């Protein structure tokens, strides 16, 4: 009898512990649900408090698990320009505690969430459009440029919603870069450009070319060889390519006649020289490393084809034009191998954010970088492979022996770091992304470029690149739990 009596408090203690565990689980679950609801409501552009409360209630209920908590409701709700405050309540039906006449335990949770500030945000996307972007991700089968298009598209869609009424004060610029940056062919007369010649058509030749064929009898010679298939490799912009390079072996056919063609006169050939928008690096002093001296001209090139990436899109809220430009990014704008000069891309990222010339869409700098908040996103899939020629700023492959080439590339890397430092000195927030980059020197360069370690992403595959852009988009439009 005594044992049975003593067992009662023991059973109650165990029962209370079990019901208590269910209570703490329910309270944690309710807290998560109202936190999620508060974050969603804080990011909403809705201004009506009744509608906001309705949204909060829907989010809370949608995030509840069955058999965890009962009777959940938003007990109180308030919203102002800065905060969203939600108090939630519910209860847990007890099991063992009923023995002590406690049939339910009330559960409550509260949260305060800071709303996203209504601030001006300017974003420059400085994106690698070089030849190496042709390489494919082994997991997805997509080329790097295809993955980049998708990731950049998602960021633009996040920051510039389709519904104009939900768009805030964010504007975005796109700076594709490769060998050179393209400021747009329509800028040919801009005061900040110095063309290296006039646009013109040059015709050569008399147009009187005539050819005759003569067949002669000669000593037997091999007119056709047996060839042996052979594959050779070469490296272009960090990409190892394979190509067919067959070699001759034995003779397959002999001939005693040979036909020779003799020509006189010349063909008439017309060559068109145009400005396609391609610009180089300023060569005076250290202007290549910053946007200083806005009136100092950038060298621009009159050429026979477009030897640069697609044109810059200056800061804009035009969602469609940005999405079209992102979709049009390519690693081969005019069927040539586009190599890499990273500092020129960053310089023009700086130019589109700065209020003075060459582009004037940017607002004046805020020393605290709050309003406007200026953000630059720099992405590359490799390292610098081009250097700037000192006389005209054109970007060319380095030359000389291995040591000389290394020194020249080191100089371009130093320019890259200097340009990033110049941007950060103005308060610009820089995110940098290494996409499937293998060389540690290139990763180190991007780490130095970023605002801090949290702003650097090492995206080793397509999924990580997508996640990087998604994370950056969330950071730019972030709301947060305050309590």
pLDDT at 90 over 80: yes
> Looking at residue 115, what DSSP letter applies?
P
Q: 249 — phi, psi (to 5°)?
A: -120, -100
Element (DSSP H or E) covering residue 179 = none
Please report, for residues 208, 226, 336, the alpha-carbon distance to residue 271 in angstroms, rounded to integers and kept in the order given: 18, 40, 18
- Give the model's confidence band at 115: pLDDT under 50 very low, under 70 low, under 90 confident, else very high: low
Q: What's the token pair of residue 438?
A: 């293998």
Give the mean pLDDT of 254-283. 96
Answer for the pair 345, 177: CB distance below 8 angstroms, yes or no.
yes
> Which pLDDT score, from 0 to 100, does residue 141 have?
92
pLDDT at 455: 96
Confidence at residue 86, expressed as pLDDT on a 0 to 100 scale: 94
Write out the DSSP string of 49-63: HHHHHHHHHHHHHHT
Task: Give the C-alpha separation, 87 to 78, whole Å.
Answer: 9
pLDDT at 9: 58
pLDDT band at 480 (very low <50, low <70, confident <90, very high): low
Residues 353-383: pLDDT tens digits? 999 999 999 999 999 999 899 999 999 999 9
Q: What's the CA gap between 471 and 450, in Å, rounded? A: 15
pLDDT at 225: 94
pLDDT over 80 at 11, yes or no: no
pLDDT reported for residue 21: 82
Residues whose CB is less than 8 angstroms from the CB of residue 22 and which lie 6 or more positions away in sequence, other chains included: 92
Domain locations along the chain:
2-114, 121-200+279-481, 210-264
pLDDT of 99 strictly over 60? yes
What CATH superfamily classification does 121-200+279-481 receive? Answer: von Willebrand factor, type A domain (3.40.50.410)
Average pLDDT score, the chain:
90
Render pLDDT for 161-219 as a digit per residue (tens, 0 to 9): 887 655 568 999 999 999 999 999 999 999 999 999 999 999 999 999 999 999 999 99
Mean pLDDT for the stretch of residues 239-265:
92
Alpha helices in 141-254 (DSSP H): 144-159
Q: For position 387, what pLDDT does the model report?
A: 98
As a whole number of angstroms, the distance between CA 376 and CA 425 comes to 13
**For residue range 408-432, what is the model confidence (pLDDT) as tens digits?**
999 999 999 999 999 999 999 999 9
Please state, as a whole number, how many other Cβ atoms lie within 10 Å of the Cβ of residue 150.
Answer: 16
pLDDT of the residue at 481: 63
Q: Are 300 and 181 in contact (CB under 8 A)?
A: no
């Amino acid at each position: 009898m005594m044992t049975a009596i003593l067992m009662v408090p023991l059973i109650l203690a165990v029962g209370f512990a079990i019901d208590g565990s269910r209570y703490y689980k329910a309270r944690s679950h309710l807290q998560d649900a109202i936190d999620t609801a508060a974050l969603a409501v804080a990011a909403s552009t809705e201004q009506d408090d009744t509608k906001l409360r309705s949204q909060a209630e829907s989010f809370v209920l949608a995030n509840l698990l069955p058999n965890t908590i009962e009777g959940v409701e938003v007990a109180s709700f308030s919203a102002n320009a800065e905060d969203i405050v939600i108090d939630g309540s519910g209860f847990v039906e007890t099991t063992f505690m009923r023995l002590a006449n406690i049939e339910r335990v009330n559960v409550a949770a509260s949260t305060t969430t800071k709303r996203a500030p209504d601030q001006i945000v300017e974003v420059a996307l400085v994106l690698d459009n070089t030849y190496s972007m042709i390489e494919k991700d082994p997991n997805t089968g997509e080329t790097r440029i295809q993955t980049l298009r998708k990731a950049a598209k998602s960021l633009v869609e996040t920051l510039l919603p389709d519904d104009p009424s939900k768009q805030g004060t964010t504007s975005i610029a796109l700076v594709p870069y490769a060998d050179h940056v393209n400021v747009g062919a329509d800028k040919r007369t801009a005061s900040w450009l110095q063309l290296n010649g006039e646009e013109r058509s040059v015709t050569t030749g008399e147009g009187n070319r005539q050819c005759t064929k003569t067949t002669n009898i000669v000593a037997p010679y091999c007119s056709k060889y047996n060839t042996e298939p052979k594959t050779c490799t070469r490296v272009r912009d960090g990409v190892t390519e394979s190509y067919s390079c067959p070699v001759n072996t034995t003779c397959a056919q002999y001939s005693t006649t040979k036909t020779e063609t003799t020509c006189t006169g010349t063909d008439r050939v017309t060559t068109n020289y145009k400005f396609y928008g391609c610009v180089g690096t300023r060569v005076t002093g250290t202007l290549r490393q910053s946007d200083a001296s806005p009136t100092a001209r950038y060298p621009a090139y009159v050429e026979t084809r477009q030897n640069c990436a697609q044109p810059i899109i200056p800061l804009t809220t035009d969602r469609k034009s940005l999405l079209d430009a992102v979709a049009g990014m390519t690693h081969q704008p005019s069927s040539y191998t586009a190599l890499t000069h990273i500092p020129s891309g960053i310089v023009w990222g700086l130019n589109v954010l700065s209020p003075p010339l060459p582009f004037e869409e940017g607002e004046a700098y805020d020393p605290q970088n709050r309003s406007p908040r200026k953000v630059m996103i720099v992405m590359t899939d490799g390292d610098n492979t081009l250097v700037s020629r000192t006389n005209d700023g054109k970007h060319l492959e380095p030359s000389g022996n291995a040591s000389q080439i290394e020194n020249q590339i080191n100089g371009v890397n130093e320019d890259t770091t200097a340009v990033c430092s110049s941007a950060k000195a103005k308060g610009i927030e820089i995110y940098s992304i290494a996409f499937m980059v293998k060389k540690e020197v290139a990763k180190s360069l991007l780490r130095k470029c970023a605002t801090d370690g949290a702003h650097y992403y090492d995206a080793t595959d397509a999924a990580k690149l997508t996640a990087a852009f998604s994370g950056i988009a969330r950071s730019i439009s972030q709301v947060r739990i305050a309590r």
